[in-house]
């Protein structure tokens, strides 16, 4: 084992230090700080509100973050869904297996799509309000 005292820095750069020992050069990469986490999508970091977007189809699968914030642990849970006109309807969120993980989907979602004249393929922007256990449909865009 070589003692560190025998090494002398000969050249420095921002990310590399060169050390010499008896005419041999050894590169040592400096440790840099971990990369900053980049927020993806339109996620609101507020613990009360969580924004998400889904493509309109016959089912609505909830983001894991919504299930976590709603405290879903059982097989079925009640979930309030508010449409663009402010009308709130109570739906049931049921658990589904996704490989080894669980996820939740809203039962009878097609009824919500039909009642609100939403077409498959439209982009639906939602906000989940934690204190009200409610998903609010905020905007509808063509897909």
For the stretch 58-99, pLDDT in tens is 999 999 999 999 999 999 999 999 999 999 999 999 999 888
Distance separating alpha carbons of residues 98 and 8, to the nearest angstrom: 56
pLDDT of residue 143: 74
DSSP letters for 70-107: HT--SSEEEEEEE-TTS-EEEEEEEEEEETTEEEEEET
CA angle (53, 140, 46) in 5-degree steps:
40
pTM: 0.65
Q: Domain 49-141 is of which CATH architecture? A: Beta Barrel (2.40)
Arithmetic mean of pLDDT, 51-63: 93
Domain ranges of the chain: 49-141
């Amino acid at each position: 084992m070589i003692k560190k005292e025998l090494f002398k820095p000969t050249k420095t750069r921002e990310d590399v230090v060169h050390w010499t020992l008896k005419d041999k050069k050894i590169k040592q990469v400096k440790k840099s700080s971990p990369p900053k986490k980049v927020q993806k999508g339109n996620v609101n970091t507020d613990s009360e509100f969580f924004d998400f977007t889904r493509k309109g189809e016959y089912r609505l699968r909830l983001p894991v973050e919504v299930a976590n914030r709603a405290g879903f642990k059982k097989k079925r849970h009640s979930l309030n869904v508010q449409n663009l006109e402010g009308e709130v309807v109570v739906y049931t969120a049921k658990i589904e297996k996704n490989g080894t993980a669980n996820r939740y989907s809203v039962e009878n979602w097609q009824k919500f799509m039909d009642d609100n004249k939403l077409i498959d393929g439209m982009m639906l922007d939602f906000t989940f309000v934690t204190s009200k256990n409610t998903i609010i449909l905020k905007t509808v865009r063509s897909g």
